Amino acid sequence: MARVIAYIDGFNMYHALEGDTTGGQRGKYRKYKWLDYPALAKCFIGGQDTLEKVYLFTALATWDQDKVNRHSLYLRVLRRRGVEVVMGRFKRRTRRCTECHKVYRTFEEKLTDVNIAIYLFRGAMLDEYDKAIIISGDTDSLPALRMVRELFPNKEVGVVLPIERKSEDLKQECDFYIHMNEHHLARSQLPDEIDDPGRGKIRRPATWV
């Protein structure tokens, strides 16, 4: 029996569900955004293993109040499910289009990669897990993954690739490697309505169906 902690890159999952992949169908998996992350993490652990903790690393899109409202509501539900939410932030960036060469402004998420690395290493150092699962296709987590495997050879670190994501670099560096599929998403949905004591009910956002 192994103790398992899941570390979830929320922004990476968001883009996978939105279909922001090479050749991906835009919005194909959007209906699965009302995810129960503890249930999803349990899809990837052994029957004798125990899920000790789920960390979600994310940030609020503060320039869009509707998105902030939906996201904040969702995070409230996840916290009630025992998920520890670790917040990053977005920073405004100026970029140049490689095709038309026009300058445009966009937002870039900051701190998620560093936070995942810190929490992953801390968990190994404090002996909080036997297996760690990183749910992300972002190779920025590679240095932390390598360091934990080097310094704590008794720990296993695996990677679950969000749906339709690929990463040969992550595949070669981890102890185990799992591709997320639509079945995992479908079986890990929160109820459409959730009781919120003192506030009534929390409902799945209308745009997440």
Report phi then psi at 115, rounded to 5. -65, -45
Q: What is the mean pLDDT of residues 30-41?
A: 96
Which DSSP letter does residue 191 get? P
Query: Quick check: 3 pLDDT over 60?
Result: yes
Partnered with residue 189 across adjacent β-strands are: 35
**pLDDT in the model for residue 159:** 96
DSSP string across 140-152: GGHHHHHHHHHH-
List, for residues 118-129, the tens digit of each pLDDT value.
Answer: 999 999 999 999
Q: Is the dihedral of CA 60, 65, 71, 77 positive or negative?
A: positive
Please tell me the least confidently modeled range out of 15-24, 72-81, 135-144: 15-24
Which tokens belong to 52? Answer: 């000790």
Total-model pTM: 0.88
- The 10 Å CB-count burial string (b at 16+, else e) for 42-62 is bebbeeeeebebbbbbbbbbe
Which tokens belong to 100? Answer: 């038309």
Report phi then psi at 139, rounded to 5. -75, -5
**pLDDT in the model for residue 104:** 46
Tell me how many degrees the CA angle 155-44-173 measures, rounded to the nearest 5: 45
Query: HSE on the CB side for 45, CA within 13 Å?
Result: 28
* Domains annotated on the chain, with CATH: 3-83+111-203 (3.40.50.1010)
